[in-house]
Amino acid sequence: MSTFTTVLLIIVVVLIALLVALYFIGTKMQKKQALQKEQMDAMAQTVSMLIIDKKRLRIKDSGLPPMVIEQTPKYLRRSKLPIVKAKVGPKVMTLACEESVFQVLPVKREVKAVVSGIYITAVKSARGGLETPPPKKKGFFKRLFKK
């Protein structure tokens, strides 16, 4: 065999091994995510709260408890999270929320939200209605093919 075919064969074998490893890691992560989702749903409760402010902040700047900051992986500490400051009963709390919920939450209004720990997972209703995000502008090719 020539050296070219040998090199190609080695590259193909390495790629196949990499794909198999990624498949097993992916299925393991999916099971872990499903288990976490079940736990979040079990802990969920509906709470009435007044939304004071909402921003995208780094975890260090968010005002979340130090225990939460320590538990986050190092590579995620620089990423920005949707953070909501809300008054729940007499306490002002800092909460994290899902991206889809963050876009809909109205500021300075009372909201009934589903909360699991310090994580807002859904919004049930709001006085004065929920904000609907403006529709995304369609690209040139989408408009062209629609005609």
- What is the C-alpha to C-alpha distance for residues 121 and 29, in angstroms, rounded to an integer? 20
Give the pLDDT of residue 78: 85
In this structure, the dihedral spanned by the alpha carbons of residues 31, 35, 37 and 39, taken in order and rounded to 10 degrees, is: 180
Query: Check: CATH 2.40.50.660 for 44-126?
Result: yes
pLDDT tens track for 71-85: 988 888 888 999 999
Is the pTM higher than 0.75? no
Residue ranges covered by each domain of the chain: 1-43, 44-126
> Quick one: pLDDT band at residue 133, thresholds 50, 70, 90?
low
